[in-house]
Structure 1
Amino acid sequence: MMWALVLLPLAGALIAWLIPDNRKRALVLPVFALAQLFLVGALLVDTPPVSPAGWILLDPLGKLALISNSVLFAVCAFYAVGYLAYRRRRPNRVLCAALLVCLSAMTLVTISQHLGLLWIALEATTLTMAPLIYFNHNARSIEATWKYLLICSVGIAIALLGLFFLAYSTIVAKQDVTLLLPSLISDAAALHPGWRHAAFIFLLVGFGSKMGLAPLHTWKPDAYGEAPGLVGALLAGGLVNCALLALLRVYQIAVASTEGAMFQGVLLVMGLISMAFAAVFMARQSDFKRMLAYSSVEHIGIITVALGLGKGALFAGLLHMINNSMTKGVLFLSCGNIHRAYNSKSTTTVRGALRRTPWSGALFLAAFLAITGSPPFSPFVSEFLIVSSAFVQGNFWTGGLFLVFLALIFIGMASTVLPVVLGEVPADIERTRYRDTLPTVLPPLLLMGIILTMGLWLPAPLQQLLHEAAGQLGGGA
């Protein structure tokens, strides 16, 4: 059953590749996304034990990432049917097949207990996402694709060196050579300090590049700006979660060793730096899709701050991982609709989206309020818990800077979003045939419902899973 999670999307990718008709091919995505989601539900109810070799296990941290990624992919799969119907002249064989292969790779990341296997799965997500970013086949998209491939590949190569150093630290310590996570956690304190320290640095830089932590985020604005909306949603809400999960595996080893405090301190600084970068570059941003890239940098920074704080903030950080994933889905899908309606991403052209695309404009506005931490949406809950934890721990500088950056980011993002959705539609802009339809509006509306519901009521099973996952990271009250 565990391997079925990985093989089922691959079977769907093969079927999508073999179907000759563009319109029928798109229907493969929601069919296999629903099948995957059903299988995920079955495995959450009855989770299998660890595989005989110890390489595969669905633990609480993996479950959180798997739930988030599977729900987001299912929503994007249904959205893709309406989106590809609008762009029927564009061949979609590569897009449909690559989306399902990417789902398979993301799933493998969540169930991997061997860091070598996790690295392979993470690299597979990098490679399969490249043709999706290039879907529009223009000069800007190919530039964005190459920048994405170059920076992320360098980052993932640095992470591989970190894994080599981690394995070598077991040799120097005269232990069994292994990259199995449970063994590394149990023996973390006995690993050679020098090689262990070097491994942590390389793994943080490598996985941080994939996550988009500042100043390692330079691929994000181009990739998010040029990719289709549904691809941007998966980049910001799916692949970021996979890289974050990889970092959380390193975090587990670090807190079990003698370097937990050092690792947390570095994460705290990098998280605040990411929020600062977002606050600076989001101001007066004229491309609203690139603006979402800096929003992603901000929220990765928020999660990293929570990891740096530790203790009770870990629960909030993991909750924010889910909140960010769902909210980014709404933002990217709705702004993709607005982009199609105006055939532009520039705030100098796009005005009055609430009049031209009422549903997409309203969703974009609501998601903006959610992602900036406004009640009653779920990101408010997780951000409030993080900043509260900072003050409870006596870390007043972190709490103060956190609030200042949030305020600056709200102002910067509002200066871009509000002119896009409010006002009158310019009379001299290009007339396009896109209008809001049920297939392109219902998926982000469903995600918006999840965000609102989680802000008002967090289901007990999800709370329990979050507590178990935080416990894996050493989190407590």
Structure 2
Amino acid sequence: MAFVLIFLPLFMAAVAAVVPSDRLRPWLLPVTGTLHLGLTFLVLARPGQVATTTWLVLDPLGKIVLLVVSLLFFFCSIHAVGYLKNSHTRSNRVFCVCFSAFLGVMTLVTWSHHLGIMWVAIEATTLVSAPLVYFEHTPRSIEATWKYLVICSVGIALALLGSFFLAYASLHAGINPTLVFEELLQQAPHLSKPWLHAAFVLMLVGYGTKMGLAPMHTWLPEAHSEAPAPVSAMFSGALLVCAFLAILRVYHLCLAAGDAAFVTPILIFMGLFSMAVAGVFMVGQKDFKRMLAYSSIEHMGILALGIGIGGVALFGTLLHVVAHGVTKGLLFLSAGNIYHAYGSKNTDEVSGALRRLPLSGTLFLAGFIAIIGSPPFGPFISEFSILNAGFATGHYVASGLFLLLLLVIFIGMGATVLKVVQNREPASGAAPQPVFREGLLTVAPPIVLLGLVLLLGLHIPAPLSNLLHNAVDFLEVQP
């Protein structure tokens, strides 16, 4: 089943490459998303019937990330059909090929239980998604693409060096070196501590670059804001948590080695620092897609803070992976509709969205209310769980700063969002105003995503709750 889930999107990418019609080709994306999501549900529902190999194992952590990746791609693929219809002046062949392949390599990340294979898969996500950032063919998009390639390549090189250090931690301790995750877990208590610590720092910096943790985040605001809306949604909700999964692997090894005291202060600092950087750049932000990009940096910081606190915060952290992914999909897809209607991302030229685009404007406003952690939406439950765990475990300073930074971010985001959805529409001629009408393909996905965000806040479905508890148990910490 692993090979089917991984190679299905790659096969569909090959099909998209040979389909001659720009009108028919985008429909391959929702077909791919539907098949992949159906197979994902089958794998999650019948784990005992899934054959695995030593290097490809879908463990409880991988299941959560696979669910988020597949679910978000399904909705983004539907929206992409509408998006590409409104971008009819440009061939969509490269977009369809790369977008399908993007799903395949992210799926490989979730199944990888060999740190070398995982590294290759994460590097592949950069290579197949870079053309998607450049799809609009603007000067800013080419700049964003090069920043994405260069910065993430440097980060992934550091992660590779960290993987070598991890193997040498075994060799230095007189153990046969390996990069197979299960074998590393068994060896963890005997690994050389200095080499393990060095490996953790390098892999945190390396994969943290791809995850968007500050100060390695500099590619993210550019790429997220310049990429097409479905791509931005996948970047924020799926790609970043694939990198987080890689960090979880080395974090898990450090816990098994009894080095929690070494890794937790680093993760707490990185989490709070990322939130602080995001808050600073959100205040006065006029580009609403760039604002959402900084929001992604904030929430990656929340994930780092959650695993840094550890213990009962792990359940809330893993729930936040799901809640943030769904909510950010809602925000980026609705923001993409607003951008198409106004031809601009600047709040000086975009206002009155509730009047011009009643559905998309309402969805964008609802997504903002959800992402800032307001009840009754999913992010409120996950963030409150992390905050409550922080106070319960004696992390009073970190928890207090967490609250303060959430307030700063609320003020910064709120000012930008209200400018977009309220006020009067800009005067005629103030900005290019392409003909854009809200259609079923562009509004249905964010509407359903809003329903899912609300569901996560009102009631966590039992199957998802079981997945989350199993993942916490897998990390050997009880919720």
Equivalence for 2:263: 263
Q: How far apart, CA to CA, are the structure 2 residues paired with 1:63 and 1:10?
A: 20
Look up the equivalent residue of 2:37 and give its one-letter code: L
Q: How far apart, CA to CA, are the structure 1 residues paired with 2:393 and 2:59?
A: 28
Query: Judging changes above 3 Å, is the alpha-carbon distance between structure 1 residues 53 and 19 closer, same or farther for their aligned structure 2 residues?
Result: closer
Task: Report if aligned partners of 2:285, 2:291 keep a CA contact under 8 Å in 1.
Answer: yes
Deviation at 1:57, TM superposition (A): 1.0
Task: Report if aligned partners of 1:189, 1:256 keep a CA contact under 8 Å in 2.
Answer: yes
Deviation per residue, 1:376-401 (Å, 9 max, x gap): 11000001111011111121111111
- Give the unaligned 5+ runs of structure 2: none
Residues matched between the structures, number: 477
Q: How far apart, CA to CA, are the structure 2 residues paired with 1:353 and 1:127?
A: 35
Look up the equivalent residue of 1:476 and give its one-letter code: Q
Equivalence for 1:361: 361
Deviation per residue, 1:58-107 (Å, 9 max, x gap): 11100000001000000000001111111112111010010111100000
Look up the equivalent residue of 1:448 and give its one-letter code: L
Task: Report if aligned partners of 2:43, 2:50 keep a CA contact under 8 Å in 1.
Answer: no
Query: Judging changes above 3 Å, is the alpha-carbon distance between structure 1 residues 125 and 424 closer, same or farther for their aligned structure 2 residues?
Result: same
Task: Report if aligned partners of 1:310, 1:474 keep a CA contact under 8 Å in 2.
Answer: no
Deviation at 1:194, TM superposition (A): 1.9
Look up the equivalent residue of 1:308 and give its one-letter code: G
Deviation at 1:51, TM superposition (A): 6.0
Q: How far apart, CA to CA, are the structure 2 residues paired with 1:276 and 1:256?
A: 30
Matched, 1:131 2:106: no
Matched, 1:219 2:229: no
Equivalence for 1:278: 278
Task: Report if aligned partners of 1:49, 1:57 keep a CA contact under 8 Å in 2.
Answer: no
Deviation at 1:195, TM superposition (A): 1.4
> Percent identity between the aligned chains?
52
Look up the equivalent residue of 2:442 and give its one-letter code: T
For residues 145-156 of structure 1, the aligned pairs below 5 Å read 145-156=145-156
Look up the equivalent residue of 1:463 and give its one-letter code: S
Deviation at 1:49, TM superposition (A): 7.0
Equivalence for 2:25: 25
Deviation per residue, 1:356-381 (Å, 9 max, x gap): 11111000000000000011110000
Task: Report if aligned partners of 2:352, 2:420 keep a CA contact under 8 Å in 1.
Answer: yes
Deviation per residue, 1:281-322 (Å, 9 max, x gap): 100001111111110010001111110000000000000011
Equivalence for 1:337: 337
Query: Judging changes above 3 Å, is the alpha-carbon distance between structure 1 residues 182 and 465 closer, same or farther for their aligned structure 2 residues?
Result: same
1:443 to 445, 451, 456: 445
Stretch deviating more after TM superposition (371-380 or 393-402): 393-402
Q: How far apart, CA to CA, are the structure 2 residues paired with 1:266 and 1:14?
A: 43
For residues 13-412 of structure 1, the aligned pairs below 5 Å read 13-48=13-48, 53-412=53-412
Deviation at 1:120, TM superposition (A): 0.6
Look up the equivalent residue of 2:295 and give its one-letter code: S
Q: How far apart, CA to CA, are the structure 1 residues paired with 2:15 and 2:53?
A: 31
Look up the equivalent residue of 2:83 and give its one-letter code: Y
Q: How far apart, CA to CA, are the structure 1 residues paired with 2:329 and 2:277?
A: 22
Query: Judging changes above 3 Å, is the alpha-carbon distance between structure 1 residues 225 and 238 closer, same or farther for their aligned structure 2 residues?
Result: same
Q: How far apart, CA to CA, are the structure 1 residues paired with 2:87 and 2:220?
A: 25
Q: SS of the residue aligned with 2:24?
A: helix
Equivalence for 2:466: 464
Look up the equivalent residue of 1:203 and give its one-letter code: M
Q: How far apart, CA to CA, are the structure 1 residues paired with 2:81 and 2:395?
A: 48
Task: Report if aligned partners of 1:10, 1:104 keep a CA contact under 8 Å in 2.
Answer: yes
Deviation at 1:53, TM superposition (A): 4.9
Deviation at 1:258, TM superposition (A): 3.0
Deviation per residue, 1:127-181 (Å, 9 max, x gap): 1110000001111100000001111010001000000111111111121221011
Look up the equivalent residue of 2:412 and give its one-letter code: G
Task: Report if aligned partners of 1:306, 1:314 keep a CA contact under 8 Å in 2.
Answer: yes
Task: Report if aligned partners of 1:275, 1:405 keep a CA contact under 8 Å in 2.
Answer: yes
Q: How far apart, CA to CA, are the structure 2 residues paired with 1:300 and 1:457?
A: 24
Task: Report if aligned partners of 2:98, 2:131 keep a CA contact under 8 Å in 1.
Answer: yes
Matched, 1:434 2:436: yes
Q: How far apart, CA to CA, are the structure 2 residues paired with 1:287 and 1:382?
A: 27
Task: Report if aligned partners of 1:311, 1:474 keep a CA contact under 8 Å in 2.
Answer: no
Q: How far apart, CA to CA, are the structure 2 residues paired with 1:474 and 1:148?
A: 35
Q: How far apart, CA to CA, are the structure 2 residues paired with 1:7 and 1:238?
A: 18
Deviation at 1:431, TM superposition (A): 3.1
Task: Report if aligned partners of 2:286, 2:348 keep a CA contact under 8 Å in 1.
Answer: yes
Q: How far apart, CA to CA, are the structure 2 residues paired with 1:333 and 1:366?
A: 13
Task: Report if aligned partners of 2:19, 2:25 keep a CA contact under 8 Å in 1.
Answer: yes
Q: How far apart, CA to CA, are the structure 1 residues paired with 2:456 and 2:258?
A: 37
Deviation at 1:52, TM superposition (A): 6.8
Deviation at 1:47, TM superposition (A): 1.8
Q: How far apart, CA to CA, are the structure 1 residues paired with 2:135 and 2:395?
A: 45
Deviation per residue, 1:425-445 (Å, 9 max, x gap): 122233320121111000111
State the superposition RMSD in angstroms. 1.1
- Give the unaligned 5+ runs of structure 1: none
Q: How far apart, CA to CA, are the structure 1 residues paired with 2:45 and 2:317?
A: 24
Query: Judging changes above 3 Å, is the alpha-carbon distance between structure 1 residues 157 and 49 closer, same or farther for their aligned structure 2 residues?
Result: farther
TM-score scaled to structure 1, two decimals?
0.98
Task: Report if aligned partners of 2:215, 2:274 keep a CA contact under 8 Å in 1.
Answer: yes
Task: Report if aligned partners of 1:251, 1:473 keep a CA contact under 8 Å in 2.
Answer: no
Query: Judging changes above 3 Å, is the alpha-carbon distance between structure 1 residues 186 and 96 closer, same or farther for their aligned structure 2 residues?
Result: same
Q: How far apart, CA to CA, are the structure 2 residues paired with 1:192 and 1:237?
A: 35
Look up the equivalent residue of 2:441 and give its one-letter code: P
Q: How far apart, CA to CA, are the structure 1 residues paired with 2:112 and 2:5?
A: 12
Task: Report if aligned partners of 1:330, 1:367 keep a CA contact under 8 Å in 2.
Answer: yes
Look up the equivalent residue of 2:404 and give its one-letter code: V
